Every structure is written in C-alpha cells, then in structure tokens.
C-alpha cells in the first residue's frame, strides 16, 4: 500500500509565520484604536492574532500570493517591487495616529516595530496586487494623440480666459485646498512632509492628498490663484476628460461629444473645486469595471482601488463608493458569471478602506449620526432638483435615462446598464438622507452620466440623418454654459428647473471688492497702537469670515507688513458646532445687516443669538457700540464694526447657553458655558 507523506518546506513556513507575527502587530494597533476600553486589554492581542491567522489561512488555502502577488513570477523583479513598497509602507505608517498612546505598553518600541513592519508588508501586498492587476488587465486603447492635445489646448485656453477675466474671492471649500497647497509649497520637501500628507488622511476631513500634487507645481510657478487653477485643471480635469475620450471611442467622435456634453466638469474646477479629481477616478472605475473583455480579478482589484481612492480624496464620495458596490451586486442579477469581478472588488475595497481610511470608515461613518448632525444642510428636495438641472440640464438627464433604457433592452449591454442605472439612484437616495447638494456634490453622478451617454451613442445607427442628433444636443449643452446670464446667489432663488446648464463660463465679477478691501484695511487699522481681536458674525455667500480672510489674497494684494487685527474663530452651524465662547472676549465684532446665514436662521441659531441683539442694541448687544464706518456689499448687505465697551456678564453667557440648550436639548454639551470662565 502506498504511504502518503506530508512534506513541510521550512522557508515558506517561516515566511507565513513571519507574516502572521508582523501583521498581528499591525492588526493589534488598529484594533486597539477601536476596542480599547470596550474589551479587556489582554483580549485585544488574542483577537488580533486570531483574526490575522484566519485571514492568512484563507489566503493560503486560496493560494492568494501565487495568484495575485507575483506580477513577474518568483523573480527578482517581484522582490524588488516588494522591497521598494515595504520601505515607505513602514516609514509612513500612521496607525498610532488613530489614538493617544500615553504611557501604555502598546506604545513601546517592540510594538511600534511590529506595527511598522506589518504596515510595510501590507503596503507591499497592495502594490504587488495593483501591479499584477495592471499587467493582467493589459493596455487601455487610448484616443489619438492629436485629439487629446486639442482637448488640452482648448481647456487651457478657456482656463486662461476665465482667470484673466474673473474678479472674485475664494472662500470655504474653494479656498481650503488653495490654502493647504500654498502651505505645503512653502515647506521643505521631504519625508516629514510626506508623513504630514499621509497623517492628514486619517485625521482631517479636508486632507492633503489633493493639495500635495498641486503644491509641487506651485512650489515652482508661484502660489497665486491662477497657478492653483491651472495646476488643478491640468492635473485633475484632464485625466477625467481622457477617461471620457476612452469611454466614448466605441462610437465615432463619441469622446469629444462626451466632453462637450459635460461642461460642468471644467467649470467646477474653475470655481475652485478640486473634487473633480475624485470624479475622474470614478469615470475610470466605471470604464475598467465594465470592460468584460478583461480578466475579472484584474478588473475587480483596480476598481476596488479606485473606489477607495475617490473617498480618500473627498470624503463625501463615500456615497459613490457604497452606491457603486451595491449597484455592482445588483448587476449580478443579469450576469451572474461576473461574480469574480464583484468579489475581488469588494475584498479589495474593504481591505484598502480599512488600511488607508479606518478612522473615517469606522469612527465617522459607522459611529456618527450624520443625518442629524448635518440636518442643517438638508434644504429640501427642490434644491436637489434645481441644482441637478442647473449643472446637467433636465434635457440631457432625460437623454441619459433614455440611453440606459435602450441599453437595458439589449442583453449584451444589460449588465453595465443596470450598474449605470442603480449607482446614481442609490447614491441620490443615500446622499439626500443627509443633506442637499452643493455644486461640488453633483460630481457624484458624472461617471454614470458619461457611461450612459457613451452607451447610447454606441447604439445609434450610422445614418447621417441620425448622427446629427448627439452633436446638436452636445453643442447646445456646451453653448448654454457660455451664455452671459445673472447667477443666483442661492439655489432657492431659482424658480424653475433649467432645461440646459444654466451656469456660465463668463468670468464672475464681484462689484463690492473695493468695499471688502476697505473693510479689511479698516479693521486692521484698529490695531495700530496695540494688538486687537475681532470676530466675524456672518455666514452667507455674500459675506462670511472666510471671505474676510481671503479678500486680499484672492485679489493678489500683498498683505501689509504693519499690525493686523487677529480674527477669532466663530462657528456657524447648529448641532455640528458648539458656540464659540471666545468671540465674547474679542475687542470687536464684525456684523452684517441683515443677519447673514447660508443655511437659514433656523439652522444657525449659534450665529443669530449674538448677531441679532448686537444689531438691535438689546440684551448682550448693550455691551457693544457701533463704530462710524459702514461697508455696503452686494445684495443689499451692509457690514458694521462694533466695539466691545464692557465685559460680558455671567448672566449674559448663561442666557446664550440656555437659549441654545432649549432649542437642542440633546446637544446640550455643545452649548454649556466652559467651566472656569468666572471662577
């Protein structure tokens, strides 16, 4: 009788054991950030070891390393890639930024070394898997070079005309990335800056992933707004347009038609939203995942990586990621043979998301009550409707829907069509449960919109009597965005939905820039003898603290070398923010009349509870005296400066607290008077 023997190879066993040890160190630190205080301290290392062992056992049984982690086989090329990825993965590990170590033993050198090595090993696996997927996926058929160069030329010419003709102030989201890019451009380029960028991914909602590439350009060409816009357009808009060209090349001139039919992409970038980078990644995710001629596993890995990237770039694109995943699962109803692509996408997306974005996915998405915290941003479904029509036009949205319906009829295209239909519908449902759409949020639907139009153009017959239709629609859409028109200051001013895009590439011109500059100079002049402080008590699209801060910079006016008045931060959104008690110690208040809100007074009581009595001279307002100067702005808004003439009393502090607590008893902790102010 033949005797079966079990052969144990020492080197592979040692490799698996080493991987188990270092990955257990990584998982231990990640679990510690999540479970410390909820489980006994000794139970967390045991759980980390068990979970890591289970994952590695599954990887061994499924032969994952041989199938997905050897892009060039067991050769020196694969080993070199692994080593080159291991070093930055270990050096830039940010696991310990997830919690405060203090004097806990887990913060000692051995644990840090194990965690760093585990991070390096995992990052090596990520890079190897992506290299394997790219190699297995193969080359993407690119459009003709002359076509893309023509697009590059047109886009840069439009950008130049818009920049030279515009006179506006960047504020809030449009200023954040300009400011962070400027900050990074002024720092020394090295490991410390790279670590700062990586750490920002897990600690900040507006992280530096999008700012860092822009800062490299601004480091060379300067940090003014024009350089920022040109960098954003060339680094982020052009890759998205290239994705459109690739997506549309299955029909004659389809890529150019897609670019013409979506003018909102470039316009969104020109108004300062670098979120277009995430939309571009979404377009490529659609393109790659639906290409059924490529290996399923390669498609799934690349799509999963892109879906992780989109929300690491901009947090709200998590709605896109989730809706894409759910839609891909529903698409299996018509094409069950595509389960491998869905499974690899899901595993890759979850693994990458937990490694690169644990603090966001676990601590914020799964733990926070977003719907209530951000209820102030829910302005109703009418706002969502008019915003969608304003930037897409209901004619083109109807055309896209018709295209999807025809694609669903054909068995060959049904799989991609169902994905294209379900993704924006699910995304719209999820997003509107939280808030209404701003301009940048409409990018969530651009990938599916492009996919639908590209599929519809592919179905059109070659007859000349039909081929003029997409050209007419695309050119009307593009032309509409270049018509001069008055732009509303708030979506609520739009009375009817727009059939074609109603924004305009005609450069914006604020008529009150001289008054804004005069206001800034006047407030700074109040500190000529000694340093003074002020707080801006206004939050609208006409005037807010960000507009005040960035007026001079947006107009390329150099900051004065003389003394300036320090601005005290003042929060503006109920439930999300606590009351800014430090503003009550400021020497001056800068208040707009009428009271300026952008979410409605019912959602910004923390602002009106101070601004209203100051304007009326009642209650706490009796502690302030209005100075002589006034500054009339657009939309009938006038800004006044009030000087504090006495200290705010304890009763007045408590009155503000009582008012806000009575409005939001469940958020009382946000509005309690800080202990020690009157002790």
Give the range with max mean pLDDT: 358-362, 408-412, 459-463: 408-412
The pLDDT of 315-327, averaged and rounded, is 96
CA–CA dist 454, 652 (Å, integer): 62
User: What local confidence, expressed as pLDDT, does residue 364 receive?
Assistant: 62
Under 8 Å between Cβ of 431 and 374: no
- pLDDT(390) > 60: yes
User: What local confidence, expressed as pLDDT, does residue 593 receive?
Assistant: 93
CA–CA dist 607, 476 (Å, integer): 43
User: What local confidence, expressed as pLDDT, does residue 478 receive?
Assistant: 96
- pLDDT(444) > 80: yes
Cα distance between the two ends of the chain:
91
The pLDDT of 319-323, averaged and rounded, is 96
Between 28 and 462, where is the model more confident? 28
Between 131 and 359, where is the model more confident? 131
Q: At what angle do helices 446-459 and 254-261 cross, to 10 degrees?
A: 140
The pLDDT of 494-523, averaged and rounded, is 93
User: What local confidence, expressed as pLDDT, does residue 487 receive?
Assistant: 85
Question: Average model confidence (pLDDT) for the chain?
Answer: 91
The pLDDT of 448-475, averaged and rounded, is 86
The pLDDT of 77-99, averaged and rounded, is 93
Displacement of CA 12 from its chain's centroid (Å): 42
User: What local confidence, expressed as pLDDT, does residue 357 receive?
Assistant: 86
CA–CA dist 315, 323 (Å, integer): 14
* DSSP, residue by residue, 503-528: ---SPPB-TTHHHHHHHHHHHHHTTS
- pLDDT(174) > 90: no
Least confident of 95-99, 124-128, 231-235, 401-405: 95-99
The pLDDT of 363-379, averaged and rounded, is 64
CA–CA dist 452, 445 (Å, integer): 11
- pLDDT(5) > 60: no
The pLDDT of 201-220, averaged and rounded, is 93
Q: What is the pTM of this model?
A: 0.92
- pLDDT(7) > 50: no
The pLDDT of 372-400, averaged and rounded, is 88
For 284-314, how does the pLDDT look when each residue is reduced to its tens digit (9 = 90+)?
A: 999 999 999 999 999 999 999 999 999 999 9
Predicted confidence band of residue 1 (pLDDT cuts 50, 70, 90): very low
- pLDDT(562) > 60: yes
- Using CB atoms within 10 Å of the CB of residue 389, give its burial: 0 to 12 exposed, 13 to 18 middle, 19+ buried: buried
Helix (H) or strand (E) holding 215: helix 211-221
- pLDDT(188) > 50: yes
User: What local confidence, expressed as pLDDT, does residue 378 receive?
Assistant: 75
- pLDDT(349) > 80: yes
Between 479 and 252, where is the model more confident? 479
Print burial letters for 177-199: b (CB count within 10 Å at least 16), e (below 16).
Answer: bbbbbbebbeeeeeeeeeeebbb
User: What local confidence, expressed as pLDDT, does residue 48 receive?
Assistant: 95
Q: Of 46, 40, 36, 50, which Cα lies nearest the Cα of 107?
A: 36
Between 602 and 453, where is the model more confident? 453
Under 8 Å between Cβ of 448 and 420: yes
Predicted confidence band of residue 6 (pLDDT cuts 50, 70, 90): very low
Q: Of 51, 27, 199, 34, which Cα lies nearest the Cα of 111?
A: 27
User: What local confidence, expressed as pLDDT, does residue 528 receive?
Assistant: 83
- Using CB atoms within 10 Å of the CB of residue 48, give its burial: 0 to 12 exposed, 13 to 18 middle, 19+ buried: buried
For 476-495, how does the pLDDT look when each residue is reduced to its tens digit (9 = 90+)?
A: 999 999 999 888 877 888 88
User: What local confidence, expressed as pLDDT, does residue 462 receive?
Assistant: 67
Least confident of 213-227, 440-454, 465-479: 465-479
Under 8 Å between Cβ of 90 and 116: yes
Under 8 Å between Cβ of 93 and 115: yes
Give the range with max mean pLDDT: 8-17, 149-158, 378-387: 149-158
- pLDDT(2) > 60: no
Predicted confidence band of residue 530 (pLDDT cuts 50, 70, 90): confident
User: What local confidence, expressed as pLDDT, does residue 465 receive?
Assistant: 65
User: What local confidence, expressed as pLDDT, does residue 576 receive?
Assistant: 82
């Amino acid at each position: 009788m033949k005797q079966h023997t079990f052969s144990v190879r020492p080197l592979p066993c040692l490799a698996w054991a080493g991987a188990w040890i270092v990955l257990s160190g990584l998982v231990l630190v990640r679990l510690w950030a999540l479970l410390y205080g909820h489980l006994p301290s000794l139970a967390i290392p045991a759980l980390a070891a068990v979970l890591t062992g289970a994952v590695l056992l599954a990887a061994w049984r499924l032969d994952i390393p041989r199938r997905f982690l050897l892009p060039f086989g067991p050769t020196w090329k694969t080993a070199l890639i692994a080593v080159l990825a291991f070093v930055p993965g270990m050096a830039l590990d940010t696991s310990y930024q997830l919690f405060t170590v203090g004097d806990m033993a887990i913060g000692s050198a051995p644990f840090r070394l194990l965690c760093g090595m585990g991070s390096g090993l995992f990052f090596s696996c990520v890079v190897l898997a992506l290299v394997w997927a790219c190699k297995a996926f193969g080359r993407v058929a690119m459009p003709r070079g002359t076509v893309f160069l023509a697009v590059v030329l047109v886009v840069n010419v439009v950008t130049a005309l818009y920049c030279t003709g515009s006179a506006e102030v960047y504020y809030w989201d449009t200023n954040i990335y300009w400011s962070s890019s400027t900050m990074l451009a002024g720092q020394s380029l090295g490991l410390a800056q790279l670590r700062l960028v990586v750490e920002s991914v897990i600690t900040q909602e507006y992280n530096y992933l999008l700012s860092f590439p822009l800062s490299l350009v601004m480091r060379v060409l300067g940090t003014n707004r024009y350089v920022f816009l040109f960098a954003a357009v060339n680094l982020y808009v052009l890759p998205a347009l290239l994705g459109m060209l690739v997506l549309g090349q299955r029909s004659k001139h389809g890529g150019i038609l897609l670019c013409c039919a979506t003018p909102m992409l470039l316009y969104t970038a020109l108004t300062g939203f670098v979120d277009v980078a995430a939309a571009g990644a979404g377009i490529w995710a659609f393109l790659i995942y639906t290409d059924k001629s490529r290996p399923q596993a390669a498609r799934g890995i690349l799509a999963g990586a892109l879906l992780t990237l989109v929300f690491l770039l901009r947090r709200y694109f998590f709605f896109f990621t989730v809706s894409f995943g759910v839609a891909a699962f529903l698409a299996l109803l018509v094409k069950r043979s595509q389960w491998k692509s869905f499974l690899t996408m899901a595993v890759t997306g979850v693994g990458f998301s937990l490694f690169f974005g644990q603090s966001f996915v676990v601590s914020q998405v799964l733990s926070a009550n977003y719907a209530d915290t951000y209820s102030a941003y829910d302005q109703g479904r009418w706002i969502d409707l008019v915003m969608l029509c304003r930037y897409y036009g209901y004619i083109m949205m109807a055309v896209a829907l018709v295209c999807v319906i025809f694609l669903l009829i054909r068995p060959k295209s049904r799989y991609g069509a169902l994905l294209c239909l379900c993704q924006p519908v699910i995304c719209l449902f999820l997003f509107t449960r939280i808030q209404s759409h701003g301009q940048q949020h409409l990018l969530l639907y651009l990938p599916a919109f492009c996919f639908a139009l590209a599929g519809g153009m592919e179905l059109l017959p070659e007859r000349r009597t039909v081929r003029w239709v997409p050209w007419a629609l695309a050119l009307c859409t593009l032309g509409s965005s270049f018509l001069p028109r008055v732009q509303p200051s708030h979506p609520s001013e739009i009375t009817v939905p727009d059939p074609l895009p109603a924004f305009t590439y005609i450069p914006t011109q604020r008529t009150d820039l001289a008054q804004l500059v005069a206001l800034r100079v006047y407030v700074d002049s109040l500190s000529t003898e000694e340093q003074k402080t002020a707080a801006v008590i206004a939050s609208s699209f006409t005037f807010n603290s960000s507009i005040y801060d960035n007026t001079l910079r947006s107009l390329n006016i150099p900051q004065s070398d003389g003394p300036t008045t320090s601005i005290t931060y003042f929060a503006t959104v109920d439930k999300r923010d606590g009351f800014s008690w430090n503003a009550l110690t400021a020497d001056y208040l800068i208040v707009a009349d009428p009271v300026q809100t952008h979410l409605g007074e019912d959602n910004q009581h923390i602002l009106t509870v101070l601004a209203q009595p100051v304007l009326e001279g009642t209650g706490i307002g009796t502690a302030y005296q209005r100075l002589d100067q006034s500054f009339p702005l657009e939309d009938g808004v006038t800004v006044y400066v009030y000087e504090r003439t006495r200290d705010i009393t304890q009763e007045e502090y408590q009155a503000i607290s009582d008012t806000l607590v009575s409005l939001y008893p469940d958020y009382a902790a946000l509005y309690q008077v800080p202990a020690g102010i009157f002790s």
